[in-house]
């Protein structure tokens, strides 16, 4: 809304004077290894390898199935990831919290790629609920089903050291599971990078796609906040709440998520001459991400 | 110890020089018909060749031996005036020059007296006259100081046809732009398509991009010092101009002849008038539109030959508005931004050798957005505002010790108030404010000292500036040495060199490079300190035949603590954020060579230049800490600006002007490859994913893509019909982009993922009319 109005003079100018034509830009690009791997202490280790391509090249990404992918833990070989097809690799081991991991992937014809990560600790969370509204004996056409509206009061016990928390939830509608996003949170430690003013929202703003909490200025403290307005319907409605997740990401995965969201914000903005965001990558000699996270889930 | 012995002669040199003279002739040089003081007019003794140059207030001081002498006063576009004197005491002279034969440079006994700062090369201080500005081809008939400057070497325009400019690899906020000595913080109207400076009210433009003297400070890259006309002390006069874009009206007159005068100049655009008229005719339930205006007012009062007061005022505003009315609701949208500057100055001649100017000024830049919705008697309000206020007291002194030695010194104390991006959201239930913590106050204090030597073949300026800056508990102190020298190797060959260190305590947060009103000025904080730059230049200049000068100059600039928004952060977004958490602080470097050929006299005048340059930036948190090209890192730049004056025919003076620019394209960040991406947290639960979720389109380094070469040819044709001595009519015809070059302004993807190039300025004819009386 604001963009449009800000750009009224530009719009006038563009309408009067601008000329638009389709162009083919010379976008040359050297195909390069792309490695994606996020370590999670709750999961076996998996990675994928593919080849990057020029923006105007057609077709899907080429998978790399003949690579050697080695994982080191605190300097010692932890294991070699086995090929499972379609560019995927797997190691039937789980990483450990606070350990340092290094990955090295080599594929014939490409420069080998490498990256490191330190697995963050699990978020320590305590929650309580406050019911804010309920309709248990519905009558009339607009209140067919019983429901309860509640706020989830969260205490996130931060530990000394930098932590980057991402919040998301899951839910089920018509037996189909969905996930992502989060209800708006009004707390000073919530990152504002994707906050958008919206007077129709509860706090006058919303967050684009995800919510990020960072502990700068609150390091080692208990971060108390409320996630408002969960609606729990009666059993006859095929619509149920799942889990509220608290993900602690290492610095690389954190930047990767953040730049991805920012880029999407730019892409969907109404500003015609926006400058895109460089997607963060910590892969040396290649692209993609090698990061880690630890997730705590709370049943809603 | 040795270095002190080495410095001893330098310390005593000024006193040795000054010991040779006895009496001083001082005073002002002004225009005969208007009384307007002539900045840069020269005076010299025809026998000895010793000379002086009038300062920014038209004041000169020349010491000489006792006895008879002939002083010659002259200025470009005016007749020479000789004054016979028998010098027996200090003498005060007020000289009036009549308009007449044009001369471009004063030649005295084989050496040149340059107009201002003789120690600077022609490339460090390129001369740009109001005549050049007023005859240069323009778009939409609006002459523009800032756009004409962009024809000079080392100065790159931002986006096409915008007033923002980048000097020697610096960013647009690193230019100190002064109007009557007051910093103007936003120089753009309408997203930068036009500057705020109304050429009808301007007397003089002084531009410096290297070897910046110590009297200037506060910005890293350049100084643009614009002086407004003072007001006609003799008789009333005026200018009325109209172009497809705007109308201008200027009126000046004496309040008391030869004692006090004023000038008023107004400019307003027409953009909203047809829109509003159309809406009224069609009986629309609302209106929308856009306009801007400028008002310049200046008065001056000569109290006595030694004291003069000036008061200048400028305000300019852009306004967008939209109102919609329906049965039970009304929506009002207003967006305004603009400057307000005012300055009170006092010129004082203490002695024939000591001149001072004391100023107190106030400069404000603000922008406000208001969305007000009234629906069923319920009010919803969304309001944002930002402002920067600068209040300062400053004093500058010129002490003319001898014709060979001038000391300049002074100081400034200013208070800066920043209120960036204050947001209020209000409705019946709540009233929320954001960003109140961003409000900042800062105090800036600066002192400087300059030693200017004119040793016939060697012109030298050695000085330093010390700036202190404090905000909250944070304090910064910057010592900025300055040195510039110009050595005459022969009567036609000059060599120059300079070293300049500059500091900048305030930063402009922008990510559009367009001169958007939302660009924010912010103060240095404990997290983000002042920017610093050091620049070294070396150049040669040679006069070829009588009219031509060819110059070459190399420069290298180091920049420290330059700022830019972190990836994705922007105040274009209506979101709460503390600005200094959203910026990256890094380094910059810029280097290059500039060549220029100038023809200063004759029917054909102009300049042809070529610049080869590099400009790069580096930030720890971006691009893995590696260097990447600056957005306006344009490798090659060829510019031509020329005017041919035809013979006068039936009281008509006609001239044809040509402007041509050929530059490497701007750099932009454009995704040029893609790779497989991971879903953001939680999205793995979903059975369907959009393509953007699993594909990352990105680029290797910021500003990775260079746009195609940028070029256009513009032609202007001016006819001045002199109806009487005072009255004239001027028709200005211009064609912008004669051969209809489609220079890309930006690229965008359409719905089918096809890349579209958008060009804004095709072949564009326009006409302007000016009536002077």
Number of neighbours of residue B292 by Cβ within 10 angstroms: 25
3-state secondary structure of B692: helix
| pLDDT score of B744 | 87
Please tell me whether residue B296 adopts helix, strand or coil conformation. strand
- Give the position of tokens 């000169």: B60
Does pLDDT of B450 surpass 90? yes
Q: Convert B7-27 to b/e letters by CB count within 10 Å (16 or more is b).
A: eeeeeebbeebbeebebbbbb
Q: Rounded distance, CA B667 to CA B672, Å? A: 13
pLDDT of residue B360: 97
Q: pLDDT averaged over chain A?
A: 87
Say what the pLDDT of residue A50 is: 97
Name residues whose C-beta falls within 8 Å of residue B253's C-beta, 6 or more positions apart in sequence: B231, B232, B235, B236, B237, B261, B262
Q: At residue B19, does pLDDT exceed 90?
A: no
pLDDT bin (cut points 50, 70, 90) of residue B525 is confident
Task: Please give the pLDDT value at position B109.
Answer: 41
Q: What pLDDT score was predicted for residue B33?
A: 86
Q: Do B696 and A13 touch (CB under 8 A)?
A: no
- The residue-averaged pLDDT of B67-96 equals 87
B234: left (phi over 0), alpha (psi -120 to 50) or beta: alpha
Q: Is the Cβ of A50 closer than 8 Å to some Cβ of chain B?
A: yes
What value does the mean pLDDT take over residues B511-516? 54
| Mean local confidence (pLDDT), A196-203 | 76
Average pLDDT, chain B: 86
Residue with the two structure tokens 């040029």: B672
Q: What is the pLDDT of residue A279?
A: 92
Given a cut of 60, whether residue B58 has pLDDT beyond it is yes
3-state secondary structure of A260: helix
Chain B residues closer than 8 Å to A267 by CB:
692
Tokens of A102: 């290094």
Six-digit token string for B214: 């110590």
Contact B224, B176 (CB under 8 A): yes
Summarize the confidence of residues A12-32 as an average pLDDT: 75
Inspect the interface and report whether the beta carbons of A262 and B568 lie closer than 8 Å.
yes
User: Is B335 within 8 Å of A278 when comparing Cβ atoms?
Assistant: no
CA nearest to B202, candidates B242, B167, B245, B250: B250
CA distance linking residue B26 with residue B57, whole number of Å:
13
The Cα B315–Cα B329 span in angstroms is: 34
Q: Which has the minimum average pLDDT: A174-178, A247-251, B492-496?
A: A174-178
d(CA B476, CA A11): 43
CA–CA–CA angle B156, B161, B165 (5° rounding): 30
pLDDT at B376: 78
Partners of A292 in the β-ladder = A39
Q: Could you tell me the two tokens for A244?
A: 């509220």
- Residue A143 has a pLDDT of 57
Torsion of CA B45, B46, B49, B51, to 10 degrees: 40
Q: What residues of B are in contact with residue A173 (Cβ under 8 Å)?
A: none
Report chain B residues whose CB lies below 8 A from the CB of A176: 687
Tell me what pLDDT residue B473 has.
83
**How confident is the model at residue B321, as a pLDDT?**
84
d(CA A254, CA A248): 9
**pLDDT tens for residues B658-694?**
999 999 998 888 888 999 999 999 998 888 888 889 9
**ipTM reported for the complex surpasses 0.85:** yes
Choose the most confident range, by mean pLDDT, from B210-224, B425-439, B522-536: B210-224
Give me the residue from A180, A193, A209 closest to B686, CB to CB.
A180
pLDDT at B195 over 80: yes
Rounded to whole angstroms, the Cα distance separating B197 from B229 reads: 12
Q: Is the pLDDT of residue A70 over 60?
A: yes
- Beta strands at A68-73 and A76-85: parallel, antiparallel or unpaired: antiparallel
Where helices occur in B291-345 by DSSP H, the ranges are none
Please give the pLDDT value at position B6.
Answer: 41
Contact A117/A101 with Cβ under 8 angstroms? yes
Q: Tell me the range of A190-204, B113-127, B172-186 where mean pLDDT is highest.
A: B172-186
Q: Is B512 in Cβ contact with A23 (below 8 Å)?
A: no
Residues of B in contact with A17 (CB under 8 A): 760-762, 764
- Rounded-to-integer distance, Cα B264 and Cα B268, Å: 14
Residue B115 clears pLDDT 70, i.e. is over it = no
Quick one: closest CA in B to A50, which residue?
B676
At B114 the pLDDT is 53
Nearest-CA neighbor of B180 among B300, B32, B337? B300
From A9, A262, A288, residue closest to B290, measured CB to CB? A9
Most confident of A124-128, A265-269, B428-432, B647-651: A124-128
- Residue whose pair of structure tokens reads 């039936």 in the numeric block: B650
Q: What is the band of A13 on the pLDDT scale with cuts at 50, 70, 90?
A: low
Average pLDDT of span B632-643 = 94
Q: Count helices and strands (H / E) in chain B.
A: 5, 49
Nearest to A48 by CA among A290, A294, A277: A290
Report the percentage of chain B scoring pLDDT > 90: 48
Q: Which of A282-296, B8-22, B215-229, B578-592 has the lowest mean pLDDT?
A: B8-22
Beta strand pairing status for B636-645 and B652-663? Answer: antiparallel
CA distance A62 to chain B (A): 10
| Beta strands at B746-749 and A287-299: parallel, antiparallel or unpaired | unpaired
Q: What pLDDT, in 10s, does the model give residues B273-325?
A: 887 788 778 777 777 888 999 999 999 999 998 999 999 999 999 988 888 88
Rg for chain A, CA atoms, rounded:
23
| Cβ-defined contact of A263 to B512 (cutoff 8 Å) | no
* Cβ under 8 Å to B: A residues 8-37: 8-10, 12-14, 17-25, 27-29, 32, 34, 36
Q: Does the beta-carbon distance from A247 to B681 stay under 8 Å?
A: yes
| Per-residue pLDDT at A202 | 79
Beta bridge pairs of residue B67: B87
User: What is the Cα–Cα distance from B529 to B441, expressed in whole angstroms?
Assistant: 15
User: Is A244:A167 a contact under the CB 8 Å cutoff?
Assistant: yes
Structure tokens at B151: 């024809």
Mean predicted confidence (pLDDT) in A15-41: 85
Model confidence at B759: pLDDT above 70: yes
Q: How many CA atoms lie within 13 A of B443 on its CB side?
A: 7
Tokens 């260097």 locate to B627
Q: Which of B150, B126, B125, B145 is nearest to B201 (CA)?
A: B145
- At residue A138, the pLDDT reads 63
Residue with tokens 């833990």: A73
Please tell me if residue A81 touches chain B, with a CB cutoff of 8 Å: no
Confidence of residue A6 (pLDDT cuts 50, 70, 90): very low
What's the CA gap between B62 and B38, in Å, rounded? Answer: 16
Measured CA to CA in angstroms, residue B295 lies from B195, B391, B722 at distances of 13, 20, 28
Q: How many residue pairs from chains A and B have C-beta atoms closer than 8 A?
A: 222
Distances (CA, A) of B638 to B279, B542, B592: 46, 20, 14
Residues 92-131 on A with a CB inside 8 Å of B are none
Helix H or strand E segment including A219:
none
CB B694 within 8 Å of CB B676: yes
Arithmetic mean of pLDDT, A35-39 = 97
Lowest mean pLDDT among A209-213, A232-236, B605-609: A232-236
Structure tokens at A295: 């997730």
pTM of the predicted protein model: 0.84
Rounded CA gap, A51 and A109, in Å?
11
What CA–CA distance (Å, rounded) separates B501 from B507? 17
Q: Which of A15, A49, A55 to probe by mutation at the B interface, max B CB count within 10 Å?
A: A55
Of all residues in chain A, the one with the smallest CA distance to B572 is A3
Q: What is the mean pLDDT of residues B69-75?
A: 89
Q: How confident is the model at residue B106 (pLDDT cuts 50, 70, 90)?
A: very low
How confident is the model at residue B520, as a pLDDT? 75
Which whole-number Å values give the CA distances from B315 to B240, B246, B249, B299, in the listed order? 19, 16, 15, 15
Confidence class for position A286, pLDDT limits 50, 70, 90? very high
CB contact under 8 A, B669 and A276: yes
- Out of B165-179, B559-573, B614-628, least confident range: B559-573
Average pLDDT over residues B448-473: 92
| CA B590/CA B170 separation, integer angstroms | 8
Helix (H), strand (E) at residue B8:
helix B2-18
Query: Which residues of chain B make contact with A194, given a CB cutoff of 8 A?
Result: 575
Q: How is residue B649 annotated by DSSP?
A: B
What end-to-end distance do the CA atoms of chain A give, in Å? 35
Q: What is the mean pLDDT of the segment spanning B725-736?
A: 90
d(CA B457, CA B491): 9
Q: For residues B38 and B55, give the distance between their C-alpha atoms in angstroms, rounded to a whole number.
A: 9
DSSP B173: G
> Quick check: A176 pLDDT over 60?
yes
Chain centroid to CA A151: how far? 23
Q: Write out the two tokens for B434.
A: 């954001």
Percent with pLDDT over 70 in chain B = 92
CA separation for the pair A175, B454 (Å, rounded): 89
Beta-strand (E) ranges in chain A?
19-22, 33-39, 45-51, 53-54, 62-63, 68-73, 76-85, 88-91, 100-106, 113-118, 125-135, 147-157, 164-173, 176-180, 195-197, 205-207, 211-214, 222-233, 239-249, 287-299
What was the pLDDT predicted at B476?
95
Distances (CA, A) of A64 to A32, A56, A288, A292: 11, 21, 14, 22
Identify which of A99-113, A210-224, B568-582 has the greatest average pLDDT.
A99-113
Asked if the Cβ–Cβ distance from B675 to A61 is below 8 Å, we say: yes
Are B692 and A264 a contacting pair, CB within 8 Å?
yes
Mean pLDDT of all residues in B614-640? 91
Where is average pLDDT lowest: B48-57, B474-483, B709-718? B48-57
pLDDT value at residue A140: 57
B143 pLDDT above the threshold of 60: yes
pLDDT for res A3: 41
């Amino acid at each position: 809304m604001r963009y449009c109005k800000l750009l009224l003079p530009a719009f006038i100018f563009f309408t009067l004077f601008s000329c638009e034509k389709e162009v083919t830009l010379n976008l040359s690009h050297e195909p390069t290894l792309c490695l994606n791997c996020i370590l999670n202490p709750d999961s076996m280790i998996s990675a994928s390898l593919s080849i990057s391509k020029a923006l105007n090249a057609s077709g899907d990404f080429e998978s790399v199935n003949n690579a050697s992918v080695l994982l080191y833990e605190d300097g010692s070989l932890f294991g070699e990831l086995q090929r499972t097809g379609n560019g995927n690799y797997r190691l039937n081991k789980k990483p450990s919290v606070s350990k340092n991991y290094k990955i090295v992937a080599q594929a014939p014809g490409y420069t080998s790629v490498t990256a490191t990560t330190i697995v963050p600790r699990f978020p320590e969370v305590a929650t309580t609920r406050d019911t804010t509204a309920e309709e248990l004996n519905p009558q009339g056409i607009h209140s067919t089903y019983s429901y309860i509206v509640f706020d989830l009061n969260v205490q996130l016990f931060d530990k000394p050291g930098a932590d980057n928390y991402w919040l998301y939830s899951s839910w089920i509608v018509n037996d189909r599971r969905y996930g992502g996003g989060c209800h708006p949170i009004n707390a000073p430690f919530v990152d504002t990078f994707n906050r958008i003013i919206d007077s129709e929202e509860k706090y006058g703003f919303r967050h684009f796609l995800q919510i990020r909490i960072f502990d700068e200025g609150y390091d080692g403290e208990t971060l108390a906040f409320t996630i408002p307005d969960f609606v729990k319907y009666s059993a006859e409605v095929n619509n149920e709440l799942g889990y509220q997740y608290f993900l602690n990401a290492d610095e690389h995965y954190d930047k990767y998520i953040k730049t991805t969201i920012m880029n999407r914000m730019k892409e969907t903005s109404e500003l015609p001459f926006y400058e895109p965001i460089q997607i963060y990558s910590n892969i040396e000699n290649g692209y993609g991400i090698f990061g880690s996270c630890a997730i705590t889930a709370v049943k809603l | 110890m040795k270095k002190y012995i080495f410095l001893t002669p330098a310390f005593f040199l000024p006193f040795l020089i000054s010991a040779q003279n006895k009496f001083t002739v001082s005073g002002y040089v002004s225009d005969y018909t208007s009384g307007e003081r002539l900045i840069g007019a020269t005076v010299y003794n025809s026998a000895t060749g010793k000379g002086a140059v009038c300062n920014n207030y038209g004041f000169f001081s020349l010491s000489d031996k006792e006895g008879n002498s002939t002083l010659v006063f002259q200025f470009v576009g005016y007749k020479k005036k000789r004054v016979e004197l028998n010098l027996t005491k200090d003498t005060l002279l007020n000289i009036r020059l009549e308009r007449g034969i044009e001369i471009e440079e004063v030649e005295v006994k084989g050496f040149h007296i340059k107009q201002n700062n003789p120690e600077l090369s022609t490339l460090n201080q390129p001369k740009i006259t109001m005549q050049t500005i007023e005859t240069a081809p323009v778009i939409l008939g609006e002459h523009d100081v800032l756009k004409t400057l962009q024809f000079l070497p080392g100065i790159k325009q931002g986006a096409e046809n915008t007033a923002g400019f980048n000097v020697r690899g610096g960013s647009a906020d690193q230019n100190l732009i002064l109007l009557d000595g007051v910093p103007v913080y936003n120089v753009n109207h309408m997203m930068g398509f036009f500057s705020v400076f109304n050429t009808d009210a301007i007397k003089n433009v002084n531009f410096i991009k290297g070897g910046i003297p110590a009297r200037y400070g506060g910005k890293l890259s350049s100084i643009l010092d614009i002086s407004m006309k003072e007001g006609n002390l003799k008789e009333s006069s005026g200018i009325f101009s109209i172009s497809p874009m705007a109308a201008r009206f200027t009126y000046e007159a004496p309040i008391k002849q030869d004692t006090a005068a004023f000038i008023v100049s107004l400019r307003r655009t027409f953009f909203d008038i047809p829109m509003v008229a159309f809406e009224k005719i069609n009986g629309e339930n609302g209106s929308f539109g856009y306009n801007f205006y400028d008002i310049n007012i200046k008065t001056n009062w000569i109290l006595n030959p030694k004291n003069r007061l000036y008061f200048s005022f400028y305000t300019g505003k852009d306004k967008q508005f939209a109102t919609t009315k329906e049965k039970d609701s009304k929506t009002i949208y207003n967006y305004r931004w603009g400057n307000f500057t005012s300055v009170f100055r006092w010129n004082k001649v203490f002695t024939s050798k000591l001149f001072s100017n004391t100023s107190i000024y106030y400069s404000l830049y603000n922008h406000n957005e208001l969305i007000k919705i009234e629906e069923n008697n319920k009010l919803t309000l969304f309001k944002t505002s930002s402002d920067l206020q600068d209040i300062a007291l400053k004093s500058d002194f010129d002490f003319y010790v001898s014709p060979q030695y001038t000391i300049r010194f002074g100081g400034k104390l200013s208070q800066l108030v920043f209120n960036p991006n204050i947001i209020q959201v209000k409705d019946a239930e709540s009233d929320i404010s954001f960003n109140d913590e961003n409000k900042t106050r800062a105090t800036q204090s600066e002192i400087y000292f300059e030693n200017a030597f004119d040793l016939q073949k060697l012109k030298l300026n050695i000085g330093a500036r010390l700036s202190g800056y404090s905000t909250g508990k944070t304090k910064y102190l910057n010592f900025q040495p300055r040195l510039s020298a110009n050595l005459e190797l022969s009567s036609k060959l000059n060599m120059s060199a300079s070293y300049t260190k500059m500091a900048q305590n305030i930063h402009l947060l922008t990510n559009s490079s367009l001169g958007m009103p939302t660009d924010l000025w912010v103060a240095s904080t404990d997290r983000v300190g002042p920017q610093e730059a050091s620049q070294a230049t070396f150049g040669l200049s040679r006069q070829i035949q009588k009219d031509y000068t060819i110059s070459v100059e190399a420069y290298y600039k180091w920049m420290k603590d330059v700022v830019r928004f972190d990836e994705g952060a922007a105040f274009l977004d209506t979101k709460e954020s503390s600005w200094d958490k959203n910026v990256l602080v890094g380094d910059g470097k810029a280097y290059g060579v500039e060549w220029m050929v100038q023809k200063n006299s004759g029917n054909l005048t102009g300049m042809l230049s070529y610049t080869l340059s590099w400009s790069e930036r580096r930030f720890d948190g971006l691009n893995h800490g590696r260097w990447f090209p600056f957005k306006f890192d344009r490798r090659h730049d060829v510019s031509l600006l020329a005017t041919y004056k035809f013979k006068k025919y039936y009281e008509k003076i006609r001239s044809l002007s040509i402007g041509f620019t050929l530059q490497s394209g701007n750099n932009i960040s454009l995704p040029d490859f893609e790779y497989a991406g991971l879903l953001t947290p939680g999205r793995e639960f979903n059975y369907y994913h959009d393509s953007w979720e699993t594909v990352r389109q990105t680029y290797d380094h910021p500003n990775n893509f260079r746009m195609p070469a940028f070029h256009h040819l513009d032609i202007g044709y001016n006819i001045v019909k002199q109806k009487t001595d005072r009255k004239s009519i001027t028709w200005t015809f211009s064609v912008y982009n004669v051969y209809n070059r489609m220079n890309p302004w930006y690229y965008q993807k359409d719905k089918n993922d096809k890349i579209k190039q958008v060009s804004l300025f095709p072949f564009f004819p326009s006409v302007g009319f000016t009536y002077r009386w």
